[in-house]
Structure 1
């Protein structure tokens, strides 16, 4: 009897052991998970030196470029074109140069800052006269710029827009409708010559001058809240040509060319047109 009980106990133990083994085998073992591998994005900075009149349009193009190139930060140096060339010749580091005329781009080429045949025209601009909204001088036509006592603000002749302004006065003085004395009369009203076109906009906006000559594109939505404009007819105007190029000393040659390509692309040209420029593709 005792032997029979022991046999039953032994059989029960064997069955329980088998059941536990089966249960353990049925429990899946999770494989260790590995963190997904990712390639770190290289942080790079692209420096663009551009004419002051490009401030709004290039800032937007720069933001678009950053969105298309993760890890890239675009920094700008906006100033009068002549000041930019001077900075570059003195050793300032940058990747892209955008000029408000061909004269200073050619100077950059001659100085070895830009490789020959790499500069490309990307936009055009023209002049307008601006005056404060309350129009204290009562400006109604271009002839009014010669009024005695009017306070006129211009960019310096070393700045592209300043030279264009003088060209306008030369053309007007050669027109019988204005007379040969027109240029001298207008210039006698100049109270200040500025280092860049944005400074002219600022002084007229603040009422520090009765009028100024700037680019059409400088009459932005913000500026239009404080100034009005008077068009200069095409026959007296100067069409400003804007070229852009990568700089030969750029440490980011691939990004510099990519930025130039974006400016010349349909996306870049649409942004320039939004700010009043005549796109190069329209010519």
Structure 2
């Protein structure tokens, strides 16, 4: 046989042999709150180990942004939010299967400042001092930690006085970056995020006065991998997955 034809024939045989594997592979797309990034990447790897042939692809961003994408038709199988309000919206919009909704983790909101900085507010009231010029918070419309922060500052009657100082971020990770780079004097993030950059930010206090931070997960109504999506949600409650979450600082819901 002509060497070129032999090469082409070999390539064709390889493609045919690989076809069943490609067809059997199940790709699961999970849209999850940005604060879950590191923990979920590890959980995804562990889930794949338990489900040969399954591949988990993650999309991490602010919960409000993710649910907007799903409402607009993004092909997603599992949605995981950092708050109940965003999950409620998805259920109301009928893009999530309410029967699969489950809370699997909790967190804490903390006030942080740059590890190296002159102005260090020790209390919420200190945020009103002139030396504190900028405070990073999540956008209220799309970032759950922003809404938790508003609850905290509202309870302390500080939201309106501090509004001129507020710098709005697209996600909790952007808030963390602003603080870590010293672009603001303070910010509000989850304790798990602060732990990731404890060499660059310092936790000043645990915020009080907000609703409990809980993370719900649910299967997307139009998921093409609904059975596998349910398995992923259930996997979040296994001892293995809960151990990963605990190691990254998440609490029980």
1:258 aligns with 2:231: yes
TM-score normalised by the chain length of structure 2: 0.86
> Does the CA contact (< 8 Å) of 1:149 and 1:189 recur in 2?
no
> Does the CA contact (< 8 Å) of 1:146 and 1:185 recur in 2?
yes
Bigger radius of gyration, 1 or 2?
1
- Counterpart position of 1:225: 199
- Counterpart position of 2:48: 66
Per-residue CA shift, 1:25-65, capped at 9, x if unaligned?
Answer: xxxxxxxxxxxxxx999222110000111111111110111
1:206 aligns with 2:181: yes
- Counterpart position of 2:137: 154
**Aligned match of 1:249 in 208, 222, 231?**
222
- Structure 1 residue runs of 5 or longer lacking an equivalent are 1-38, 174-181
Superposed structure 1 runs of 4+ greater than 3 Å apart:
none
Q: How does 1:2-21 map to 2 (within 5 A)?
A: none
SS in 2 for 1:279: coil
Q: How does 1:40-51 map to 2 (within 5 A)?
A: 42-51=24-33
Q: How does 1:20-169 map to 2 (within 5 A)?
A: 42-150=24-132, 151-158=134-141, 159-169=143-153
> Does the CA contact (< 8 Å) of 1:46 and 1:73 recur in 2?
yes
Deviation of residue 239 (structure 1)? 1.7
CA distance in 2, matches of 1:252, 1:265: 20
> Does the CA contact (< 8 Å) of 1:41 and 1:71 recur in 2?
no
- Counterpart position of 2:165: 189
Root-mean-square deviation (Å): 1.8
CA distance in 2, matches of 1:161, 1:260: 23
SS in 2 for 1:231: strand
Per-residue CA shift, 1:107-142, capped at 9, x if unaligned?
Answer: 111111112232011111121011111122132222
> Does the CA contact (< 8 Å) of 1:48 and 1:74 recur in 2?
yes
- Figure out how many residues of one structure are paired with residues of the other and give that number: 232
1:276 aligns with 2:243: no
> Does the CA contact (< 8 Å) of 2:39 and 2:244 recur in 1?
yes
> Does the CA contact (< 8 Å) of 2:109 and 2:207 recur in 1?
no
Deviation of residue 183 (structure 1)? 2.9
Deviation of residue 229 (structure 1)? 0.6
Deviation of residue 216 (structure 1)? 1.1
Per-residue CA shift, 1:196-233, capped at 9, x if unaligned?
Answer: 10000011111111110011111133x11111011225
- Structure 2 residue runs of 5 or longer lacking an equivalent are 1-20
**Aligned match of 2:190 in 188, 208, 215?**
215
TM-score normalised by the chain length of structure 1: 0.77
